[in-house]
Amino acid sequence: MASWSKSGSSFSRNSSKNPELKLGPNATSLISSGIPDLDKILGGGFSVGSVIMIMEDAEAPHHMLLLRNFMSQGLVHKQPLLYASPSKHPYLFLGTLPSPNPKHHHSPHPTHEKDLRIAWQYKKYFGDPNLNITTSNGGQHDYCNDFDLRKPLERHFYSGTNVDCVSIQDSPNLDALQDRCAGFLAQFSRNEGNISSAGRIAIQSFCSPQCKYSDMEWHMLSFIKSLKGMTRSSNAVVVVTFPPSLLSSSCSKRLQHMADTLLSVRAIPDEDKELAKLLTGYQDMVGFLNVHKVARLNTQVPVILDATTFSIKLEKRRFLVLECLNQAPVDGSSGSSYGTSGGCSGSTKSGSLDF
């Protein structure tokens, strides 16, 4: 009983100091991705000390939706941010980040109604993301906010000294970026499991052709390997987006293998009649999100998801929503229906059920 009380008090102490963190499985901590649905898919958010890689789509910049929400969530939680971009003026990108909407409450999906219900007095031990958390300045915020994509983030969130922007456009190699990442991650080294603060690193279009090192594939692989090692021993999360179509097949596969969590986005072809017949709500979709791998630190047991492909929708053209794909009802004229699929005896003839 004494040991339980000790561990419980330790968790409560860490939670009060870090309201933006959640306790994850296998003695890990989680931070929010900035998208409520993605947090639920991944089991609570991104694991602290992990590298998340997002494969871009050459036809649409849907990866920017994930990257913007990730960065905005960290700034709202006052977490230090290091942002690297192939653009000449990366600081201008901060003006496009979405703003949290406290009046909007994320509506759960019908599939979430079957989730386990926990008594209210125990929810604080499970880090319910829907609970409001009191900040040090007396305000309140959620573990994961709903961000309004049409409303820019207020300037005071990113005008402080906790934001560092780096342009990698004219860099002949990745040595300078590696030094910046090493210095940033050194601020969040782990001391016997006590997390005093958490940081975020966002690297956009890592293998962009605007970068001079874009043809140095082994150099890029070495950088990601070193970055992963530094991140694993720190209290930070790194999100890297890269276009796999611009890399060789072997380099792309190696990058995917080194990722702790691997995601990919894909645009929906215009007026795809076949998809419109197969999927319900096709007209509201803007793309697809595929979850290829989920980080599992301190364990060798993989995560098995109920679904790995999700539709990307914009609720009211403002809020990012991820939903499981639902197949449209089969038309009776297009093939066999449930009434003619055969009986329990195994007969394939159409007609009444044969018991």
**HSE of 87, CA atoms in CB hemisphere, 13 A:** 11
Question: How far is Cα 202 from Cα 183, in angstroms, rounded to an integer?
Answer: 15
Q: What is the pLDDT of residue 332?
A: 43
Q: What is the pLDDT of residue 36?
A: 95
Q: What is the pLDDT of residue 243?
A: 94
Our measurement of the distance from residue 77's CA atom to the centroid of its chain's CA atoms, rounded to an integer in Å, reads: 16
Residue 288 DSSP SS3: strand
Q: What is the mean pLDDT of residues 137-152?
A: 77
Using the predicted structure, report yes or no on whether residue 156 has a pLDDT greater than 60. Answer: yes
Which of these, 63, 62, 48, lies nearest to 18 by C-alpha position? 48
Supply the pTM of this predicted model.
0.79
How do residues 199-248 score in pLDDT, each as one tens digit? 999 999 998 888 888 889 999 999 999 999 999 999 999 999 999 999 99
User: Which H or E element spans position 51?
Assistant: strand 51-55
CATH number of 21-101+142-269: 3.40.50.300
Using the predicted structure, report yes or no on whether residue 339 has a pLDDT greater than 50. Answer: no
Q: Which amino acid is at 272?
A: D
Distance (Å) of CA 25 to CA 116, 152, 163, 172, 222 = 17, 34, 30, 41, 30
Using the predicted structure, report yes or no on whether residue 93 has a pLDDT greater than 50. Answer: yes
- Domain residue extents for the chain: 21-101+142-269
**39-56 per-residue burial string, b: 16 or more CB within 10 A, e: under 16:** bbbbbbbbbbbbbbbbbb
Residue 236 DSSP SS3: strand
Q: What is the pLDDT of residue 345?
A: 42
